[in-house]
């Protein structure tokens, strides 16, 4: 039996087929897991933005942005998220990672455009400030009368890769 050519042909064929099935299943499971982690990450960012929105609404409405930079830095340190507060005109008035005075207008960012149109927007792109891929979630901030700006939170995508590979 062990010296039979037919046995070895069948054995190698079935072994190759089994290996191919295992590789395909692993790829499918990994893709599904990554999708679930991205969905969880988006839910977390949404919750962070919803909690942050009332904390910045008054300052955006009044135009008095004193204290927003400190608040963004403190909350970002506690939550591990990047926090950006943006006016209706696109000016950054607070950012947990960069001096807002050095930052460009954010009105053209995809997640901010979506938030202006729909109330909320999520987008994955390379951070121009940090140079790393991140998931961003922007939420429109409104006063009783009108829209007053946006709050945007973000997490680096390397967290997704870490959770998928573990």
DSSP-based three-state secondary structure for 108: coil
Closest among 51, 54, 71 to 144, alpha carbons compared: 54
Q: Taking a C-beta distance cutoff of 8 angstroms, is the pair 123, 114 a contact?
A: yes
3-state secondary structure of 124: strand
Sign of the Cα torsion 46, 144, 64, 92 reads positive
pLDDT means over runs of 10, the chain (166 residues): 78 86 82 81 92 90 87 91 94 92 92 95 85 91 87 85 59
pLDDT tens digits, one per residue of 136-155? 999 999 987 788 999 999 99
Chain mean pLDDT for the chain: 87
Q: Please, what is the angle between helix 68-79 and helix 5-62, to 10°?
A: 150
């Amino acid at each position: 039996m062990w010296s039979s050519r037919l046995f070895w042909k069948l054995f190698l064929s079935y072994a190759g087929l089994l290996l191919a099935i295992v590789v395909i299943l692993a790829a499918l499971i990994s893709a599904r897991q990554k999708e679930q982690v991205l969905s969880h990450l988006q839910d977390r960012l949404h919750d962070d933005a919803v909690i942050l929105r009332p904390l910045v609404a008054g300052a955006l409405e009044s135009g008095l942005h004193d204290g927003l930079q400190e608040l963004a830095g403190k909350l970002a340190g506690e939550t591990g998220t990047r926090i950006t507060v943006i006016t209706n005109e696109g000016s950054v008035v607070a950012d947990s990672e960069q001096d807002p005075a050095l930052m460009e207008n954010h009105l053209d960012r995809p997640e901010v455009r979506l938030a202006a149109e729909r109330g909320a927007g999520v987008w994955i792109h390379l951070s121009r400030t940090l140079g790393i891929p991140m998931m961003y979630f922007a939420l429109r901030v409104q006063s009783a009368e009108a829209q007053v700006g946006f709050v945007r939170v973000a997490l680096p995508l390397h967290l997704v890769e870490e959770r998928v590979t573990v």
